[in-house]
Amino acid sequence: MKKAYLFVLLVAAIAMTGCRQSTRVSSPDKTIELSFCLHDQVPYYSVIKDGRQVLGTSRMGFDDHKYTMVSLRSSSKNELWETTWGEERIIKNNYRELQVTLRDEQNELMVVRFRVFNDGIGFRYEFPGEGGSFEICNENTEYCFTDDPEVWTIPWRTPYYEGLWEKCPMTALRDTVCSPVTIEYSNGSYAFLHEAALDDWAAQNFYVADGAEPSVFPVLGTYLTPWSTGVSVYGERGKTKSSWRMLILADNITELAASRLMLNLNEPCKIEDTSWIQPMKFIGIWWAIHLDHYSWCYRLLDEKGNVIGLAPKHGATTENMKRYIDFAAGHGFGGVLAEGWNEGWDGDWTSNLASFTTPTPDFDIEYLSRYAKERGVQIIGHHETGGNIQNYEQQLDSALSYYDRLGIHNVKTGYVHAKLEGKEWHKSQYGVRHMNHVIRTAAANHVCIDNHECVMPTGLCRTYPNLMTGEGVRGQEWDAWSTDGGSPAQHLCVLPFTRCMAGPVDFTPGTFDFSNPIHPETRVHSTLARQLALFVTVYSPLQMASDMPESYMQHPEAFRFIEQVPCDWEQSHVLDAKIGEYVVTARQDRHSSDWYLGAITNEEEREVSVDLSFLDKNKNYTAEIYRDDSQTDWQQNPYKIVIEKRTLTASDTLTLTLKAAGGAAVRFTEL
């Protein structure tokens, strides 16, 4: 990793010698200004917001290349566009652009394209030309901060990003961390450092550059996830572009959550007919497997891999699937997931070569697909690769066309192995290329993707809305078997401003049975009301309710909220929050005038006062409230819930008491 110049030294050096060939571009509302210059043939940029220096003079470029200026070009855009699905139906895209064309010492061109929005900045590197390959080992992009803010991060080697986000001062970072990074300033403002439109590039990571100490301003350097060869990016001139480097700048936490800068940096939808892409809630033969009621495998093998019998508890059977389909049809779920339906799960399934078109003998997929269609339900397909990418790509076309023929239009993909093919990082250019190839091939076969063990989302769902959701998170499954006892309640008060800012997340809320006889030391850290609230505070257009049908029937009145809550929204607002402590979110249904509200807290009991001015000022609403009771205790009495109705208006304030690890969910219906 290349040693970075400290901000204070850079400013002094440039002030003495002068920064030649400098230019600047501001946001449409003129609150943000980005400056670009060449100094000693090295490109630099800096950012000012509301007259305050946010980023000092920060280096750009790759490896040891030197550059000269070729041309500058300015443009702008101001448009409204409609999402196929999302947290909002209409998004405003308004920016000013500066295109800087540079030439390196080998006479090759590089374009740096800056876009400055009212809520932040983005820039990417482009490599024009008429063919010719190149390699990149190091990216020199830096972020030279002008104070020492606190940051929420996870280490870059965290498997599948399934870690607990932690906060510390930026200068206290002792490990390279993955993108994104959420930044809290002492004055109450926020920033979000990430990337957009990661297509044929390596995912970025960040490290505190050499020489940064607590007494000076921190510099974050960029570390691209490498191939096993040590090369970060293999490129081709005329085709290769980096992902957008992006920084959201917000005066407060509600503005941070409201930013759609990442989506605006992605290209418009490339799928002409999107009618087959349908947001839905679904259930699955899944949580019961995690609790060891069932198994993924169909056969039992000995140590040498010989079949010695049939697994006594195989979960993905025709009988089980019919039961789940019937439950889904009766309770408003659009789909049912069955994991372990296909050949290849027996023994050490991560090294087996699975078949993605051959069901196990006890899973009649042809019959079940017809039966599901008759009941108005879809099967959610499942492709677990075990990281065996070559095996999967050889079958990809046939597997997806097979699903299309069966009327299966959603598939959950998986890559449970530390490295793809045993050698490449998931978020290397190798992994990025593969997963985006799957998305495009799936689109051609009318199949939507729920990508697990994925690359961190970067807004490609705008361009390919069949990329509906993904994991990349320590999800609720950890609460079934994690040896640390399960995720703390704080975790879900952090995610809306870290992982969820990167895109939809398949967290799988909705656990109704907190007992765990297999791992009694592990459990969901939650009350029943909090599980309902998660359907609002955690966004996914494919929203899986985690638990088993029999668990839901133990609490049918509370389950009614899950039956009713949608997963496609007209508009969304974080009303109040503090990262790691509590979140209050309101969303309006895209297909009705109903509003839904979710409020959750960490391990501390608290009272929140919710301003209801987001409601229509000319209407009265029936508020159906699901909240913790005064006797609710997440460890001893988690199922205690109060369900009540009140008439409320936009001028009212709703006060909710959230017990420790608790929450509240509300449905507002016009009278």
**What DSSP line would sit under 178-242, residue for residue?**
ESPEEEE-TTS-EEEEEEE--SSSPPEEEEEPTT--TTS--EEEEEEPPPTTS-SEEEETTT-BP
pLDDT tens per residue across span 49-92: 999 999 999 999 999 999 999 999 999 999 999 999 999 999 99
Q: Give the pLDDT score at 8.
A: 39
Please check the confidence at residue 4 and state whether its pLDDT lies above 80.
Answer: no
Nearest Cα to 507, choosing from 551, 538, 468?
538
Q: What strands lie across the sheet with 20-26, from one edge to the other?
A: 20-26, 32-39, 42-49, 52-59
Torsion on CA atoms 495, 635, 281, 343, rounded to nearest 10: 90
Nearest-angstrom CA–CA distance, 45 and 639: 54
Report the pLDDT value the prediction gives residue 215, as an integer from 0 to 100: 47
Q: What is the C-alpha separation between 582 and 406, in angstroms, rounded?
A: 44
What per-residue confidence (pLDDT) applies to 347? Answer: 77
* Residue 624 scores a pLDDT above 60: yes
CA distance 340 to 412: 12
Question: What 8-state DSSP symbol labels residue 2?
Answer: P
Does the pLDDT value for residue 583 go beyond 90? Answer: yes
Assign 3-class secondary structure to 271-306.
CCCCCCCCCEEEEEECHHHHCCCCECCCEEECCCCC
| pLDDT category of residue 350 using cuts at 50, 70 and 90 | confident
CATH 2.70.98.10 describes domain 7-264:
yes
Q: How far apart are CA 577 and CA 580, in angstroms?
A: 9
pLDDT (0 to 100) of residue 211: 52
Smallest CA-to-CA distance from 338 within 411, 407, 447 is with 411
CA distance 387 to 426: 9
Q: Between the CA of residue 315 and those of 335, 386, 641, what are the distances in Å?
A: 17, 19, 32
Pair type for strands 299-301 and 280-285: unpaired
pLDDT above 80 (res 298): yes
Say whether 518 sits in a helix, a strand or coil. coil
Q: How many CB atoms lie within 10 A of CB 291?
A: 18
Query: In which band, very low, low, confident or very high, does the pLDDT at 303 lie, cut at 50, 70 and 90?
Result: confident
Contact 96, 74 (CB under 8 A): yes
Q: What is the pLDDT of residue 19?
A: 61
Q: Are strands 542-544 and 280-285 parallel, antiparallel or unpaired?
A: parallel
Average pLDDT for 660-671: 98
Of 108, 162, 421, 477, catalytic: 477
**Mean pLDDT, residues 280-302 taken together:** 94
Spatial CB neighbours of 549, under 8 Å, sequence gap ≥ 6: 283, 323, 324, 327
Number of Cβ within a 10 Å radius of residue 611: 15
Residue 20 pLDDT exceeds 80: no
Helix (H), strand (E) at residue 339 = none
Neighbours of 625 (CB within 10 A): 20
Residue 38 to residue 65: CA distance in whole angstroms = 13
Q: Where in the chain is the domain with CATH 3.20.20.70?
A: 267-472
**Mean pLDDT (the chain, rounded):** 95
Q: Mean of the pLDDT values across residues 247-253?
A: 98
CATH T-level topology, domain 267-472: TIM Barrel (3.20.20)
pLDDT at 371: 98
Residue type, 219: V
Give the separation between CA 667 and CA 588, rounded to whole angstroms: 10
Closest CA to 451 of 515, 540, 362: 540
Low-confidence winner among 2-11, 45-54, 110-119, 186-195 (lowest mean pLDDT)? 2-11
Split at pLDDT 50, 70, 90, the class of 314 is very high
The pLDDT tens digits of the residues spanning 504-515 come to 999 999 999 999
Q: Find out whether 197 and 243 touch, Cβ atoms under 8 Å.
A: yes
Which residue from 625, 609, 545, 614 is spatially nearest to 586, judged by alpha carbons?
A: 614
The tens digit of pLDDT for each residue in 98-150 reads 999 999 999 999 999 999 999 999 999 999 998 899 999 999 999 999 999 99
pLDDT score for 17: 41
Residue with the two structure tokens 């990661």 = 198
Radius of gyration for the alpha carbons in the chain, expressed in angstroms and rounded: 25
Do residues 268 and 462 lie in contact, with contact meaning Cβ atoms separated by under 8 Å?
A: yes
Q: On the CB side of 317, how many CA atoms lie within 13 Å of its CA?
A: 15
Residue 1 pLDDT exceeds 50: no
Residue type at 626 in one-letter notation: Y
pLDDT for residue 216 is more than 70:
no
CATH 2.70.98.10-classified regions of the chain: 7-264
Partnered with residue 668 across adjacent β-strands are 595, 623
pLDDT above 90: percentage of residues in the chain: 93
550 among known catalytic residues: no
Cα gap 329→44, rounded to integer Å: 58
